[in-house]
Chain A
Amino acid sequence: MAPNDTLTLIWAGIIGLAIFGYVVMDGFDLGIGILFPWLDKGEHRDTAVNTIAPVWDGNETWLVLGGGGLFAAFPLAYAILMPAVYAPVIAMLLGLVFRGVAFEYRARTTRLWIWDAAFAGGSTLAAFSQGVVLGAVLQGVSVTGRSYSGGWWEWLSPFSVLTGVSVVAGYALLGSCWLIYRTEHGLQDKAFALAKLTGIATLVAVLAVSAATPFLNTDYFSRWFTMPGMAFVAPVPILVVVTAVLFIRALQNRAEIQPFLLALLLFLLSFTGLGISMFPWAIPGKVTIYQAATAENSQIFMLIGVGVMLPIIIGYTAYAYWIFRGKVGHEGYH
């Protein structure tokens, strides 16, 4: 049984949505871990963790949806990519283990520094690894027949390290904007300062990655720099500049929610840019989404599930966020 082209397109959209959903939901949450070393020990750190403790598990579930969705909708892409980015994926998983348990362990331990370090280190490692995976996919992987045929270091390049650092910077930005939104007083002041720094870092990173990507392969280049594609993609960089200006304004006005929303918009734009570069490849230059797609009846079966469940999930997730809304203090919600 063959895939259906329309459904394949829809599924590429859903996977894109799930991955973006993951970045939106878990980005700020990992970002807080990345920022941890710059937050004061004690109250500030506890408050920062309190803002995400009731929701981190749900946030991380989007990662399972992204990975599981890729497995389900494009099994061939999953089967080729996972061995290709083996080391960074394992590193990401181990990082997530350390930071995930730190939520509970921090509350039980007397040696707080160990689990603070695990939280910060695990979050940073996970974010960096995700960026490396992104870079490794963009730069392409070796494929023979239906499987990966490169070595176990193929993912490592200056470009993938650059994307790794960029994602760390971007998540840190989301984390500081989240703290602006959810905290007050001293911690919020700190978050404003951090947002400025990480904002600049993220912009530099976006520029660097954008500058490097078109030169990775001629296909990307022609897409960005020749007509008619150019007319179609030109708005993306322009909107990035506009967003950046608005973001700086918002920080200057000490706006509380705008910085977070604008940072998300920045991510959305970068994500769109990546999508433009990638389409219609599942593995750049090697396997298209149409070749990687699963059988038609699997596509339909899952589409029903997504159609019914996703609105419900968004509903109760929003409800959980609403319950824990408002400014957060350091004593927790017990």
Chain B
Amino acid sequence: MFDTVSAIDLARAQFAFTISFHFIFPSFTIGLASYLTVLEGLWLRTGRDVFLNLFKYWLKIFAITFGMGVVSGIVMAYQFGTNWAVFSDKAGPVIGPLMAYEVLTAFFLEAGFLGVMLFGLERVGKRLHFIATCMVALGTAISAFWIIAVNSWMQTPQGYAINAQGQFYTTSWLQVIFNPSMPYRLVHVLLAAYLTTALVVGGAGAWHLLKDRREGRTPREGTRIMFSMAMWMAVIVAPIQIVVGDEHGLNTLAHQPAKIAAMEGHYKSFPGGPGGGAPLILFGIPDDKAQVMRHKIEIPALGSMILKHDSDAAMAGLDSFPAADRAPVSITFWSFRIMVGIGFGILFMGLWSVVARFNGSLASSGWLHRLALLMGPMGFVAVIAGWVTTEVGRQPFTVFGLLRTTQSASPLDAPAVAASLIAFIITYFVVFGVGTWFIIKLMGHEPHPGETGPTRGEAPRVPILGGAVDIDPVAQLAE
């Protein structure tokens, strides 16, 4: 029933599943760690309790997300060996050390200070606690630096040679780490994490603003502040992200032209010259079998304009590459459009919030709040869509142009991979489903004076008096 091909497909499905789940958490914790640093910094500077309350409110959510990020990350660290053994043997001398550096410089830093950040405020005092928060935030960014270096090297390898056993080894570490796509990818991914976090914070804020209005209450100060902060973030970061994304695409065109052809849906090449530039295909139904784009809606010459800044420039299509080296258009074409669409969606929301700010309706504009609520989870969608574009667009290679995916897999029997894939799917949906539910429950109560931190043991199950105002509803959370 199973042949060797399907063992590889199962291994790919398993890798795609586990990494997609894993990356959902970093894209939130990277941003949230920085946001928490800002909140705590504002509290230390202004002494206003509202910032401390917001800090504690988001800290509880951070604790759960971080836990999920850690356990799904440890799975990733072993996936390379279990499912991609040949790849590990061959690429190990190059990427192994970078991942070891990630452990040494980032994971220990995050983990070492996490305990202090979550439980240490009373024990170490404000200043040291703030340092711990900064260290955790710094750790998440350093972690991104190394793993993005690894991934980018797989996209645009340089600084290597190949030995008699077919293993890659390094000729220049600087060239390996700062490979051509690395700076673009790092900035793009970090900004994506900030946007994702801003959307979640803004979505939670919008929900409470809407609810307060419906129930005739004035929103609490914390709610207004967090919504406003999130909207500033959206309007400032979204345009930067669009520019960075454009530069990123130009860089990809230089190094992985087949990927760009797949993303753009260009099966055929465009010769260039007057009227011969590539169009920008807005929509269409890619047909990989026949290698044609059906039912397309396109803007003439705009593709060449964006990618080459010249409407008459020639553009290579997939037909310029050997059939065995073409990435699947059907997935990349759509995932790319989803990401870009969401990017412009965030920009639109951000601009709207600026208008609302000027006419004083930021805290009362129902439609803006509804849009922000809708956008709340969209950062995750964009991030996954972005990675799918990047990774599927790299196919059929794991190390672009050098090592094929079919030559990277472990010598495993399909039933073993199938069984573990099913086990991962069930475990992840149950465990991370419950975690997400806890987070949604936590966000479902409005940040209020006297927030408690991430308590453990008996305490959270005993209702705690939250300041003079009311009883902390988190204490009675149910599943």
Task: Please say whether chains A and B are actual partners in one complex.
Answer: yes
Flag if A72 contacts B100 (CB, 8 Å): yes
Nearest B-chain residue to A75, judged by Cβ:
B92
Flag if B111 contacts A58 (CB, 8 Å): yes
A49 touching B457 in the complex, CB below 8 Å, given contacts A82-B88, A313-B104: yes
Interface 9-mer from A88-96, A157-165, A207-215, A238-246: A88-96
Interface 9-mer from A32-40, A100-108, A250-258: A100-108
Any chain B CB within 8 A of the CB of A53? yes
Q: Give chain A nearest CB distance to B74 CB in angstroms.
A: 6
Q: What is the CA–CA distance of A58 and B452 in the complex, to the nearest angstrom? A: 24
Nearest A-chain residue to B128, judged by Cβ:
A323
Any chain A CB within 8 A of the CB of B388? no
Flag if B108 contacts A61 (CB, 8 Å): yes
Flag if A71 contacts B80 (CB, 8 Å): yes
The one of A112, A294, A295, A320 in contact with B112, judged by C-beta atoms closer than 8 angstroms, is A320
Q: What is the CA–CA distance of A50 and B115 in the complex, to the nearest angstrom? A: 11
Flag if A65 contacts B423 (CB, 8 Å): no
Q: What is the CA–CA distance of A302 and B101 in the complex, to the nearest angstrom? A: 7
Q: What is the CA–CA distance of A80 and B438 in the complex, to the nearest angstrom? A: 40
Interface 9-mer from B117-125, B201-209, B356-364: B117-125
Flag if A305 contacts B454 (CB, 8 Å): no
Flag if A146 contacts B459 (CB, 8 Å): no
Interface bits A33-68 vs B (CB < 8 Å: 1, else 0) = 000000000110011011001110110110111011
Q: Give chain B nearest CB distance to A24 CB in angstroms.
A: 15
A101 touching B71 in the complex, CB below 8 Å, given contacts A1-B163, A54-B116: yes
Name the B residues within 8 Å of A57 (CB-CB): 67, 70, 110-111, 114-115
Name the B residues within 8 Å of A185 (CB-CB): none
The one of B74, B85, B112, B122 in contact with A83, judged by C-beta atoms closer than 8 angstroms, is B85
Flag if B411 contacts A83 (CB, 8 Å): yes
A295 touching B169 in the complex, CB below 8 Å, given contacts A53-B119, A75-B93, A320-B113: yes
Name the B residues within 8 Å of A42 (CB-CB): 458
Q: What is the CA–CA distance of A330 and B163 in the complex, to the nearest angstrom? A: 58
Flag if A309 contacts B457 (CB, 8 Å): no
Any chain A CB within 8 A of the CB of B4? no
Interface 9-mer from A147-155, A175-183, A269-277: A147-155
Any chain A CB within 8 A of the CB of B186? no
Flag if B104 contacts A301 (CB, 8 Å): no
Q: What is the CA–CA distance of A295 and B89 in the complex, to the nearest angstrom? A: 12
Q: Give chain A nearest CB distance to B235 CB in angstroms.
A: 33
Q: What is the CA–CA distance of A89 and B416 in the complex, to the nearest angstrom? A: 12
Q: Give chain A nearest CB distance to B345 CB in angstroms.
A: 32
Q: Give chain A nearest CB distance to B448 CB in angstroms.
A: 17
Flag if B104 contacts A109 (CB, 8 Å): no
Name the A residues within 8 Å of B435 (CB-CB): 101, 104-105
Flag if B85 contacts A96 (CB, 8 Å): no
Nearest A-chain residue to B85, judged by Cβ:
A79
Any chain B CB within 8 A of the CB of A203? no
Any chain B CB within 8 A of the CB of A78? yes
Flag if A305 contacts B104 (CB, 8 Å): yes
The one of B100, B412, B427, B452 in contact with A305, judged by C-beta atoms closer than 8 angstroms, is B100
Flag if A93 contacts B75 (CB, 8 Å): yes
Flag if A96 contacts B455 (CB, 8 Å): no
Flag if B108 contacts A317 (CB, 8 Å): yes
On chain B, the number of residues with a Cβ less than 8 Å from chain A's Cβ atoms is 84
Flag if A79 contacts B86 (CB, 8 Å): yes
Flag if A333 contacts B89 (CB, 8 Å): no
Any chain A CB within 8 A of the CB of B6? no
Flag if B454 contacts A68 (CB, 8 Å): no
Name the B residues within 8 Å of A58 (CB-CB): 108, 111-112, 114-115
Q: What is the CA–CA distance of A68 and B123 in the complex, to the nearest angstrom? A: 33
| Chain B, 83-108, CB within 8 A of any chain A CB | 85-86, 88-89, 92-94, 96-97, 99-105, 107-108
Any chain B CB within 8 A of the CB of A87? yes
The one of B73, B78, B89, B124 in contact with A75, judged by C-beta atoms closer than 8 angstroms, is B89
Flag if B71 contacts A100 (CB, 8 Å): yes
Q: What is the CA–CA distance of A110 and B412 in the complex, to the nearest angstrom? A: 42
Any chain A CB within 8 A of the CB of B445? no
Name the A residues within 8 Å of B431 (CB-CB): 97-98, 101
Flag if A305 contacts B456 (CB, 8 Å): no
Flag if B63 contacts A104 (CB, 8 Å): yes
| Chain A, 308-332, CB within 8 A of any chain B CB | 309-310, 313, 316-317, 319-320, 323-324, 330-332
Any chain A CB within 8 A of the CB of B413? yes
The one of B94, B411, B453 in contact with A148, judged by C-beta atoms closer than 8 angstroms, is B411
Q: Give chain A nearest CB distance to B386 CB in angstroms.
A: 25
A-B contact pairs, 11 of them (CB 8 A): A54-B118, A57-B70, A76-B92, A93-B75, A93-B78, A96-B74, A100-B74, A105-B435, A151-B413, A332-B457, A333-B123
Q: Given contacts A49-B457, A106-B457, A317-B108, could you give 20 more A-B pairs where the C-beta distance is less than 8 Å? A: A54-B118, A57-B110, A58-B114, A68-B77, A72-B96, A75-B88, A75-B89, A83-B410, A86-B416, A86-B420, A97-B72, A152-B415, A294-B96, A295-B163, A302-B100, A305-B104, A317-B112, A323-B120, A331-B457, A332-B119
